[in-house]
């Protein structure tokens, strides 16, 4: 298997060199292979979100490198990062963050529009993804007309719409009840198994940790354990 994500001695310091220096990431070296279903866990302030932000091209490191495939993402400027994120990374957020004025179908299609994909391809992929997440009958519903679990499933479909190299999911189940969490994890596990989509979660949720096939634990910005099941 080839590595989708590689970080080498990744560092993120706030107020470097000052008395109040904070080491959010302190030399994280990690490889995520294609098709992995990995959870990044750790207490609050351990550096989970910072790690995901740098891997996701949303934040800059203080030191070290991060590669997505063959691209050193930590060497890209802001404009290059925007384009890179659009074509290579899928995002699932804790609060779903769907566009409330668009329907489920339009929310999924929107990413492909940004990628300038042809209409026929957009339509087919949107239908396919919403069917896979079990929302074929909710295509024309707006987020307000759906439950939290359904909204998060739309968010997963949206994350996959751009055919990314991997999906970053930041606490994706934090706002969901048990049943919705179970349903969402089932869908993501199935997508991972069938389509070899690489998922990387940050989570506190034991239910997610239990389903993950690899668990990386962070503490004080360092990896303290990396367990493959």
Partner 1 sequence: MLIKIAWRNVWRNGLRSGVVIASIATGIWAGLFVISVSSGLNEQRTKDALDSYLSHVQIHTPKFVEDNNVEYRIENLDEVINALDNNSNVKAYAERVVLSGMVSSSAGGFGTRITGIDPEHEKNVSTMHEKVVDGAYFEGIKRNPIFIGKKLADKLKVELRKKVVLTFQKDNGDLVTGAFRVVGIYKTANSKADEMNIFVQASDINRLLDGSAGFHEVAVITKDLTMVDTTAGSLRAALPNLSVRSWKQVSPDLGYADEMMMQMLYIIIMIILLALSFGIVNTMLMAVLERKRELGMLMSVGMNKTKVFFMIVVETVFISLVGGPIGVLLGFLTVSYFGSAGIDLSVVGKGLEEFGISTMIYPNLQPKFYIDVTIMVIVAAIISSIYPARKALQLKPAEAVRAI
In the complex, which residues of this chain contact partner 1 (CB under 8 A)? Answer: 53, 56, 58-59, 79, 82-87, 91, 93-95, 97, 99-102, 106, 109-111, 113-114, 158, 162, 170
In contact, 172 and 151? CB cutoff 8 Å? no
At its nearest, how many Å lie between partner 1 and the CB of residue 139? 16
Report the residue number, 101 or 227, with the smaller CB distance to partner 1.
Answer: 101
- Residue 186 makes CB contacts below 8 A (sequence gap 6+) with none
- Strand arrangement, sheet containing 214-219: 89-92, 166-170, 199-202, 37-41, 214-219, 222-228
Compare residues 95 and 224 and give the one whose CB is closer to partner 1: 95
CB nearer partner 1, residue 54 or residue 208: 54
In the complex, the smallest distance separating the C-beta of residue 228 from partner 1, rounded to whole angstroms, is 28
Residue 228 near residue 213, CB atoms below 8 Å: yes
| Shortest CB 105 distance to partner 1, Å | 12
Nearer to partner 1, 74 or 162 (CB): 162
What CA–CA distance (Å, rounded) separates 135 from 156? 11
Compute the least distance from the CB of residue 97 to partner 1, in Å: 4
Query: How remote is the C-alpha of 28 from its chain's centroid?
Result: 18
Using the minimum distance from each CB to partner 1, give the nearer residue, 15 or 79: 79
Least distance in Å: CB of 29 to partner 1?
22
Q: Which residues 6+ apart lie within 8 Å of 46 measured at CB? A: 218, 219, 220, 221
């Amino acid at each position: 298997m080839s590595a989708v994500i590689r970080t080498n001695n990744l560092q993120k310091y706030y107020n470097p060199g000052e008395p109040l220096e904070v080491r959010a990431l302190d030399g994280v070296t990690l490889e995520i292979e294609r098709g992995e279903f990995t959870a990044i866990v750790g207490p609050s302030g351990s550096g989970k979100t910072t790690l995901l932000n740098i891997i996701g091209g949303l934040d800059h490191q203080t030191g070290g490198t991060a590669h997505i495939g063959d691209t050193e993402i930590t060497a890209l400027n802001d404009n290059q990062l925007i384009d890179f994120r659009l074509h290579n990374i899928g995002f699932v957020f804790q609060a779903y963050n769907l566009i409330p004025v668009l329907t489920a179908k339009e929310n999924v299609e929107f990413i492909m529009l940004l990628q300038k994909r042809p209409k026929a391809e957009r339509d087919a992929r949107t239908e396919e993804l919403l069917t896979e997440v079990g929302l074929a009958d909710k295509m024309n519903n707006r987020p307000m007309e759906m439950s939290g679990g359904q909204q998060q499933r739309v968010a997963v479909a949206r994350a996959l719409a751009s055919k990314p190299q991997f999906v970053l999911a930041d606490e994706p189940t934090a706002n969901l009840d048990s049943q919705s969490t179970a349903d969402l994890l089932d869908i993501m596990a199935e997508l991972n198994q069938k389509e070899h989509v690489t998922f990387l979660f940050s989570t506190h949720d034991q239910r997610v940790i239990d389903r993950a096939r690899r668990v990386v634990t962070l503490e004080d910005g360092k990896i303290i354990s990396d367990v493959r099941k």
